[in-house]
Structure 1
Amino acid sequence: MNFNFDIFLEKQKEKNYFKNLISKLEKIGYENIFPKKEEIFFAYQNFDFNNLKIIIIGQDPYPTKGVANGLAFSTSRTNLKTPASLKNIFKEIKNSYPKSQFLTNDLSYWKNQGVLLINNILTVEESLPLAHKNMGWENFTYEFLKKITKTTKNIIFLVMGNYALNVLKKIDLNNHFVYIVSHPSPLSCNKNFLGSDVFKKINNKLRELNKKEIDWNTK
């Protein structure tokens, strides 16, 4: 695949929306923003785009200090308390794969298998979900998805919640596969996430595409 994230990011930095976004973040102060400044793009950085299989799209990072690590739904390896949304993700995986083991809340093992875990909005402030809504991150995510969907085909999208779905409305997905579920938070997980068997469905689709299935354990 002819995609280089560093080149993509540099091009975004030249655009007015991105300059305005960074200006807003600097005014707030990176010490007041989650995840840490160096982890904001962790989902994309050092990702093997030649092995891209799945893009999981969430809403925004956990608004609690020391939890978010730049991967959607993931936490830092030192964070031992499993957030409610991730608990429900693990629960749904267990529904399909009863022998699953989750040794950490850090989902980097999924990333290393070709699962890109992104949020529509990449930053947040303490105790303020969606604090950075409409600051410019949606533009960034849209530009990335527009580029990546034109660069390759047969990406499997797992879209978790209405806010994640919004960013895909203008994207041409004809050469890709999309699974839409409710957000895994306790407020919405029972709508059509728990019991959806979506992680097994994704692996079945990967098998159809002659690609290696995802090991949904964490380690």
Structure 2
Amino acid sequence: MIPEAWVHLPFFSRDWPRIATALAAETAPVYPPRERLFAALEAAAPDAVRVVILGQDPYHTPGKADGLAFSIPDGFPGRLDSLGNIFKELQADLGVARARTQLNDWAAQGVLLLNTALSVPEARPKGHDRLGWDRLVGEVLGALDATPRAFLLWGGPAQKLAARYLSNPDHLRIETAHPSPLSAYRGFFGSRPFSRVNAWLEARGEAPIVWAG
């Protein structure tokens, strides 16, 4: 379950046993499913990460969180919420109309889709914010800091962690409001993150991200 490419991080020996015990004792259902807790890290080894999208915590609705931040399993019948707003901005930014809700194709291109908390109890947004997941995310950011990368920091929690753990001046850092329906109109819409990331990658001689799917 622990992603092999990240197992060297101190979190997994120091903090994970305690968090695993706390999750096992949680009385409410926990999302994403236990086998998908580290899906974002499993999908992208450190050397493969080119872009980091950092959000807040997983969806707290049954069947919605799949372990990749903002991603939703294809065929989910409910509202898209944050992902729907991401798609609106993608359409406005690049003219791309994306219908596929699962974002594993982004992950396969080196986009690390991470949240500042990797679990949430059902119907309790931010319910695991103080569980200690920030230690893992901080270590991940620290491990990625040496090489210039693009960081999309969506929301206050993401921006606070980035301020603590990222120091490389050569990163592309785009800080906006979270794409949640509660905050997207406070700066997420109109931020054009997808075209800005691709322009930065291409200026470095790298292939752009294919955001369509």
Letter of the 1:128 counterpart: R
Q: Which moved more, 1:161-170 or 1:114-123?
A: 161-170
Residues 43, 107 of structure 2: 8 Å contact kept: no
Secondary structure at 1:64's aligned position in 2?
A: coil
Which residue of 186, 189, 193 maps to 1:198?
A: 193
Cα deviation for residue 174 of structure 1 reads 2.3
Unaligned runs of 5+ in 2: none
Cα deviation for residue 49 of structure 1 reads 3.5
Secondary structure at 2:53's aligned position in 1?
A: strand
> What does residue 24 of structure 2 align with?
26
State the identity as a percent: 30
> What does residue 56 of structure 1 align with?
53
Residues 56, 116 of structure 2: 8 Å contact kept: yes
Secondary structure at 2:137's aligned position in 1?
A: helix
> What does residue 92 of structure 2 align with?
95
Compute the TM-score of the two structures, normalised by the length of structure 1: 0.89
Which residue of 150, 154, 159 maps to 1:160?
A: 154
> What does residue 14 of structure 1 align with?
13
Task: Tell me how far apart the structure 2 counterparts of residues 48 and 86 of structure 1 sit (CA, whole Å).
Answer: 24
Task: Tell me how far apart the structure 2 counterparts of residues 50 and 8 of structure 1 sit (CA, whole Å).
Answer: 14
Deviation per CA, 1:118-160: give whole Å up to 9, x if none.
Answer: 000000011110000111101111111112213xx11100000
Q: Indicate how the Cα distance of structure 1 residues 194 and 188 shifts in structure 2: closer, same or farther if over 3 A, else same.
A: same
Deviation per CA, 1:46-75: give whole Å up to 9, x if none.
Answer: 424433210000000000010000000001
Letter of the 2:23 counterpart: L
Task: Tell me how far apart the structure 1 counterparts of residues 19 and 211 of structure 2 sit (CA, whole Å).
Answer: 34
Please give the root-mean-square deviation of Cα atoms over the aligned residues, in Å: 1.8
Residues 82, 105 of structure 1: 8 Å contact kept: no
Deviation per CA, 1:100-133: give whole Å up to 9, x if none.
Answer: 2323110011111111100000000111100001
Residues 59, 120 of structure 1: 8 Å contact kept: yes
Cα deviation for residue 82 of structure 1 reads 4.5
Secondary structure at 2:202's aligned position in 1?
A: helix
Residues 77, 104 of structure 1: 8 Å contact kept: yes
Task: Tell me how far apart the structure 2 counterparts of residues 75 and 37 of structure 1 sit (CA, whole Å).
Answer: 16
Task: Tell me how far apart the structure 2 counterparts of residues 37 and 71 of structure 1 sit (CA, whole Å).
Answer: 13
Letter of the 2:70 counterpart: F
Which residue of 108, 111, 117 maps to 1:112?
A: 108
Task: Tell me how far apart the structure 1 counterparts of residues 155 and 192 of structure 2 sit (CA, whole Å).
Answer: 16
Task: Tell me how far apart the structure 2 counterparts of residues 141 and 67 of structure 1 sit (CA, whole Å).
Answer: 22
Secondary structure at 2:112's aligned position in 1?
A: strand
